[in-house]
Amino acid sequence: MLHLRVIAPSDRTDKVVEVLERAAGVTNIVLLPGAARRPTGDVVLADVAREAANGLITHLKELGLTEDGSITLEDIEVSISRGAVEAEARAPGEGDDAVIWDQFAQRVAAESRITWAFLAFLAIATQIAAIGVLIPSQILIVGAMVLGPEFGAVAAICFGLLRRRWSLIGAASRTLAVGFATAIAVTLACALVSRGLGWVDPEMLRHNDDVRFIVTPDKWSFIVAVLAGAAGVLSITAGKSSALVGVFISVTTVPAAGYMAVALALGRWTEVGGSLAQLVVNVAGMVVAGTATLLLQRFLWRRYGPRFTVSARSAPREGV
Residue 65 shares a structural domain with residue 198: no
247 occurs within a structural domain? yes
Residue-wise pLDDT for 103-118, tens only, equals 889 888 998 899 999 9
Q: Does one domain contain both 124 and 81?
A: no
- CATH number of residue 26's parent domain: 3.30.70.120
Higher pLDDT among residues 54 and 41, named by residue: 41
Residues 230 and 206 both lie in one domain: yes
Q: Where are the beta strands (DSSP E) in the chain?
A: 2-8, 26-37, 40-48, 70-75
Is 185 within a domain? yes
Q: Does the pLDDT of residue 56 top 60, yes or no?
A: yes
- Reported for 63-66, long-range contacts at CB under 8 A and 24+ positions apart, including other chains, are 63/8, 63/12, 63/15, 63/16, 63/19, 64/12, 65/6, 65/7, 65/8, 65/12, 65/16
289/175 same-domain check: yes
Q: Kindly state the percentage of the chain with pLDDT values over 70.
A: 91
Residue 56 sits in the same domain as residue 132: no
Number of domains in the chain: 2
| Pair type for strands 26-37 and 40-48 | antiparallel
**Structural domain boundaries enclosing 26:** 2-93
Residue 319 falls inside a structural domain: no
- The residue length of the chain stands at 320
| pLDDT, tens only, 4-52 | 999 999 999 999 999 999 888 899 999 999 999 999 999 999 999 888 8
Does residue 250 contact residue 189 with C-beta atoms inside 8 Å? no
User: What's the CATH code of the domain at 205?
Assistant: 1.20.1080
Tell me the pLDDT tens digit for each residue of 206-216. Answer: 767 778 889 88
Do 238 and 135 belong to one domain?
A: yes
Question: Is the distance from CB of 238 to CB of 96 less than 8 angstroms?
Answer: yes
In sequence order, what are the residues at sequence separation of 6 or more whose Cβ sits closer than 8 angstroms to the Cβ of residue 98? 50, 51, 53, 54, 301, 305
- How far is residue 74's CA from residue 67's CA, in Å, rounded to a whole number? 20
pLDDT in tens, 258-286: 999 999 999 989 899 999 999 999 999 99
Is residue 319 scored above 50 in pLDDT?
A: no
- Between 20-34, 143-157, 158-172, 227-241, the lowest mean confidence (pLDDT) is in 227-241
Summarised one tens digit per residue, pLDDT across range 234-248 is: 888 876 666 677 777
Q: Which amino acid is at 281?
A: V
